[in-house]
Amino acid sequence: MIEILDAALPVSFQDGGRPGYRHLGVPLSGALDAEWLAIANALAGNPAATVALEIRLRGPRLRALRPLTLALAGEFSARIEDAAGQSRPAANWRSHALTENEVFDCGFLRSGIGYLAVHGGFDLPTVLGSRSTYARAGIGGIDGRALRAGDRIGAGAGEPPTPMRLPQPPQIGDGPLRVIAGPQREYFTDAAWAKFIDAEFTVSREADRMGLRLDGPQLEHDPTLGADIVSDGVAPGAIQVPGDGRPIVLLADCQTVGGYPKIATVIAADLPRLAHALPGHSLRFVEVDLEQALAARRRAATELTACIASILADRPFDLDALYAANLIDGVIDAQHAT
Amino acid sequence: MKPRILALGDGALTLEFGDRIDQTLNAKVMAARDALAALNLEGITDVVPTWRSLTVHFDPLRLDRDRLAEELLHCAEAPPQESAQAMRWLIPVVFGGESGPDIAAVAQATGRSEASVIETLCATELRVFLIGFLPGFPYLGELPDWLRLPRLKSPRAAVPANSLAIAGAQAAIYPWQSPGGWHLLGRTPLRLFDVDNATRPALLAPGDAVRFTPIDHNEFERLAAAVATGEIDESEWRAK
């Protein structure tokens, strides 16, 4: 069990999302950066898509009401306060064992987003196959709302695992975001497409889990087709352009259908990067084909597997090294003996 | 227009039949949905029908994109027929008063009596073309020509949940309280979305047929109470 002491900014619970209900208007939801969620969970000794806290800008302060192990993926400035009021820093990209009544303060985030996972997961009801918070319909997480002070959530079941660390934190890719043209590329003039590919866009203040509205050059629609379509399916990554010519990149909580033409769609391998794009962040786009998108998807999966495989036990004394040293000493001793 | 395949990124394809709101297009969409379901392809996560298209979300590492595109174009040829998945519903509605504050204005704008608006609406079998906007929000159509009105000039900040509303060629029932610019004609005591029902959380699904039947305020209260206690469930509303 944990108790939330302070949650100044909206924090949601997210897991692998809620697929299978989009025909009934239920968004996919789930972690904006599924790779970092998987890393946080691996550090905490959980399966990759276990529900965790998704945190932007500043994370909550919480108290462990029983011993538990939690893990951070992201650039937090976290600290652990013990019962005597002594505080020590808690490093990122590793798990931390808390004793009963210790307080964990996530602090501010230097990365755009971060995840706090707890060993054994958070004990929350599954709603339509997922524990992800979807605030607009008030489902998932804690009654579909943001975390607040006083919340108590079951957590920390099972034996505490060995603390783990990730030696080499993952890099957030840079360079232009890769897109596949369409599905409504034809609704835009060639001049608008050229601008879309050449120009730099900036994430505006209108940015949440549903999407990012971008500032930058206006993208003109083909005047014979206009800026409205009869709604069709949308997906996270789709870049829709309403009549004002300002693109919106859709994210995990986007609606299931939309009535604006979509000039292009960010490929799955680059979706995690959008999670880190805060207001003011600049973005560029580059067109790729489906083969390249598929290759990128495979590469991302391989890299994530390798990243998780590199996680090490974080022991104060490296027992493996000690054993190895003893063995060598033994050999040397034996040589001396002969 | 011939059906065609559009890429929606690398994890979804849209089978597009046309670009209009059109019942004949929608019937083809539903036929294609059923044909695709019958194939039982591995790797598909979501199949989303709209008025004019079918979007299929899939994992391209498990299901070859070109094969899916080919199968979808085959499915597009499936003859429209009464969908095996479609259900028929008879939905009780209390019209007018606080439940349907726009009914007088709708009667006036169409030059008919309130009774005639209700009678026509209840005599028309509507189809669920699409669920969207909010979880479980059904777009129903099509309304008779004379009942088609533009949206309200200024949308309401909060439309009560369970309101029956019309705009243009379509009707809808709001499953949740939300902002809305449609004309409110009445309310149903039914629960349109039930998060605890993981097999079918939304009462209405794309392709379903819907008719409305008028009830009075007392009946509304009685049914609402029975729905709340679980005394009656949604199967009560399946048309016989």
A262 three-state secondary structure? strand
Contacts of A141 (CB under 8 A, 6+ apart): A12, A13, A124, A131, A132, A133, A147
Alpha carbon B124 to chain centroid, angstroms: 14
CA–CA separation, A330 and A326 (whole Å) = 6
Assigned CATH class of B88-237: mainly beta
Distance CA A136, CA A208 (A): 12
Tens-digit pLDDT profile for chain B (240 aa)? Answer: 899 999 999 999 999 999 988 889 999 999 999 999 999 999 999 999 999 999 999 999 999 999 999 999 999 999 988 777 789 999 999 999 999 999 999 999 999 999 999 999 999 999 999 998 889 999 999 999 999 999 888 889 899 999 999 999 999 999 988 888 899 999 999 999 999 888 889 999 999 999 999 999 999 999 999 999 988 887 888 876
DSSP state at residue B196: T
Residue A131 tokens, joined: 């524990």
Two tokens at A103? 């307080």
CB atoms within 10 A of CB B116: 14
ipTM, interface predicted TM-score of the complex: 0.91
Enumerate the residues of chain A whose CB falls inside 8 A of the CB of residue B133: 25, 255, 257
- pLDDT band of residue A224 (cuts 50, 70, 90) is very high
Q: Are B73 and B3 in contact (CB under 8 A)?
A: yes
- Which domains, from first to last, does chain A contain? 2-165 (no CATH), 177-288 (2.40.100.10)
- What is the pLDDT, as a whole number, of residue A334? 41
Q: Using CA coordinates, name the residue in chain B closest to A136.
A: B134
Give tens-digit pLDDT for A29-59. 999 999 999 999 999 999 999 999 999 999 9
Nearest of A283, A113, A286, A145 to residue A213 by alpha carbon:
A283
Distances (CA, A) of A57 to A75, A136, A144, A268: 10, 21, 20, 24
Strands B138-141, B126-131: pairing kind: antiparallel
Contact A27, A253 (CB under 8 A): yes
User: How far is Cα A222 from Cα A187, in angstroms, rounded to an integer?
Assistant: 5
Residues of chain B within CATH 3.30.1360.40 domain(s) are 4-75
A112 or A318, higher pLDDT: A112
Query: Which amino acid is present at A64?
Result: A
- Distance between CA atoms of A233 and B17, rounded to whole angstroms? 13
SS3 A270: helix
Tokens found for residue B228: 């709340």
Residues of A in contact with B59 (CB under 8 A): none
Distance CA A195, CA A264 (A): 13
Q: Note if the bond before A183 is cis, omega within 30 degrees.
A: yes
State whether CATH 3.30.1360.40 applies to domain B4-75: yes
| B93-131 pLDDT, tens digit each | 999 999 999 999 999 999 999 999 999 999 999 999 999
Residues belonging to chain A with any Cβ–Cβ distance to chain B shorter than 8 Å? 19-28, 127-129, 136-139, 180-184, 229-235, 237-238, 255-257, 262, 265-268, 290, 293-294, 297-298, 301
Cα–Cα distance measured from residue A17 to residue A133, given in angstroms and rounded to the nearest whole number: 9
Task: Indicate the residue of A129, A182, A297 with minimum beta-carbon distance to B198.
Answer: A129
